[in-house]
Structure 1
Amino acid sequence: MQLFLALFFLLGIPSGAPEIHSLKYFYTGSSQVPNFPEFVMVVLVDELQIEHYDSNTRRLVPTQDWVNEAVDSQFWDRNSNLALEHQQWFQPNIELLKQCFNQTGGVHIVQKMYGCEWDDETDEVVNGFHQYGYDGEDFISFDLKTETWIAPVQQAVPTKHKWDKDKAKMAFDKNYFTSFCPYWLKKYVEFGRSSLMRKDLPSVSLLQKTPSSPLTCHATGFYPDRADLFWKKDEEELHEDVVRGEILPNHDGSFQMSVDLDLSGLQDEDWGRYSCVFHLAGGQEVSKRLDKRDIRTNWKTNDGGLDTGLIGGVLGVVAVLVVIVCIIGFFVYKKKHPKGFRATNTSETSSSSGEDPAVKKGSSEEQSMLKTSA
Structure 2
Amino acid sequence: TLSSAPLTGGSLLIQSLPNFTVKHSLKYFFTESPGAQSIPEFVAVAIVDDVQIGDSNSVREATPKKDWIKFFEDHPQHLEWYSLQSHDSHHFFKATIETLRQRLNQTEGVHILQRMKGCEWDDETGEINGYDQYGYDREDFLVYDLKTLTWIAPKPHAVLTKMRFDAHEHQFESNKNFLVYQCPDFLKEYLRYGKRFLQTAEYKFHVVSCHATGLYPDRAEMFWRKDGEELHEGVDPGEILLNNDGTFQMSVDLNVSSVMPEDWQREYRTKI
TM-score where L is the length of structure 2: 0.62
Give, as a single letter, the amino acid of the residue that structure 2 aligns with 1:41.
A
Aligned runs of 1:248-287 on 2, under 5 Å?
279=255
Q: Is the 8 A contact 2:21 2:123 kept in 1?
A: no
2:152 paired with 1:150: yes
Question: How far, CA to CA, are the matches of 1:197 and 1:129 in structure 2?
Answer: 24
Q: Which residue pairs with 1:86 in the alignment?
A: 89
How far does residue 94 in structure 1 lie from its aligned partner after superposition? Answer: 2.4
TM-score where L is the length of structure 1: 0.47
Q: Which residue pairs with 2:222 in the alignment?
A: none
How far does residue 139 in structure 1 lie from its aligned partner after superposition? Answer: 0.8
Q: Secondary structure at the match of 2:61?
A: coil
Q: Secondary structure at the match of 1:152?
A: coil
Q: Is the 8 A contact 2:97 2:113 kept in 1?
A: yes
Q: Which residue pairs with 2:269 in the alignment?
A: none
How far does residue 22 in structure 1 lie from its aligned partner after superposition? Answer: 0.2
Q: Which residue pairs with 1:116 in the alignment?
A: 119
Q: Secondary structure at the match of 1:68?
A: helix
Q: Is the 8 A contact 1:67 1:188 kept in 2?
A: no
Q: Which residue pairs with 2:195 in the alignment?
A: 193
Aligned runs of 1:71-82 on 2, under 5 Å?
71-73=74-76, 75-76=78-79, 79-82=82-85
Q: Secondary structure at the match of 1:37?
A: coil
How far does residue 171 in structure 1 lie from its aligned partner after superposition? Answer: 3.4
Question: How far, CA to CA, are the matches of 1:28 and 1:193 in structure 2?
Answer: 28
Of residues 179, 182, 185, the one that matches 1:183 is 185
How far does residue 183 in structure 1 lie from its aligned partner after superposition? Answer: 0.7
Question: How far, CA to CA, are the matches of 1:106 and 1:227 in structure 2?
Answer: 45
Q: Is the 8 A contact 2:21 2:124 kept in 1?
A: no
Q: Is the 8 A contact 1:67 1:191 kept in 2?
A: no
How far does residue 108 in structure 1 lie from its aligned partner after superposition? Answer: 1.4
Question: How far, CA to CA, are the matches of 1:88 and 1:172 in structure 2?
Answer: 19
More strand by share: 2
Q: Secondary structure at the match of 1:34?
A: coil
Q: Which residue pairs with 2:239 in the alignment?
A: 234
Q: Secondary structure at the match of 1:89?
A: helix
Q: Is the 8 A contact 1:62 1:68 kept in 2?
A: no
Give, as a single letter, the amino acid of the residue that structure 2 aligns with 1:116.
C
Question: How far, CA to CA, are the matches of 1:99 and 1:64 in structure 2?
Answer: 42
Question: How far, CA to CA, are the matches of 2:240 and 2:147 in structure 1?
Answer: 43
How far does residue 154 in structure 1 lie from its aligned partner after superposition? Answer: 1.3
How far does residue 99 in structure 1 lie from its aligned partner after superposition? Answer: 1.9
Question: How far, CA to CA, are the matches of 1:280 and 1:27 in structure 2?
Answer: 34
Structure 2: 5+ residue runs without aligned partners?
1-18, 209-235, 242-250, 261-272
Q: Which residue pairs with 2:57 in the alignment?
A: 54
Q: Is the 8 A contact 2:118 2:132 kept in 1?
A: yes
How far does residue 83 in structure 1 lie from its aligned partner after superposition? Answer: 2.4
Structure 1: 5+ residue runs without aligned partners?
1-15, 201-222, 237-274, 285-374
Q: Do the aligned partners of residues 98 and 226 (structure 1) sit closer, same or farther apart at CA in structure 2, a change above 3 Å counting?
A: farther
Give, as a single letter, the amino acid of the residue that structure 2 aligns with 1:48.
V
Question: How far, CA to CA, are the matches of 1:280 and 1:170 in structure 2?
Answer: 44
Question: How far, CA to CA, are the matches of 2:158 and 2:64 in structure 1?
Answer: 35
How many residue pairs get aligned? The number is 206
Question: How far, CA to CA, are the matches of 2:173 and 2:184 in structure 1?
Answer: 16
Q: Secondary structure at the match of 2:90?
A: helix
How far does residue 184 in structure 1 lie from its aligned partner after superposition? Answer: 0.4
Q: Do the aligned partners of residues 193 and 79 (structure 1) sit closer, same or farther apart at CA in structure 2, a change above 3 Å counting?
A: same
Percent identity (aligned)? 40
Aligned runs of 1:1-374 on 2, under 5 Å?
18-56=21-59, 58-66=60-68, 68-69=70-71, 71-73=74-76, 75-76=78-79, 79-125=82-128, 127-161=129-163, 163=165, 168-199=170-201, 224=204, 234=239, 279=255
Q: Is the 8 A contact 1:67 1:192 kept in 2?
A: no
Q: Which residue pairs with 2:4 in the alignment?
A: none
Question: How far, CA to CA, are the matches of 2:177 and 2:111 in structure 1?
Answer: 33
Q: Do the aligned partners of residues 192 and 28 (structure 1) sit closer, same or farther apart at CA in structure 2, a change above 3 Å counting?
A: same
How far does residue 119 in structure 1 lie from its aligned partner after superposition? Answer: 1.3
Q: Do the aligned partners of residues 24 and 226 (structure 1) sit closer, same or farther apart at CA in structure 2, a change above 3 Å counting?
A: farther
Q: Is the 8 A contact 2:114 2:135 kept in 1?
A: yes
Question: Structure 1 segments of 4 or more deviating over 6 A?
Answer: 275-278, 281-284
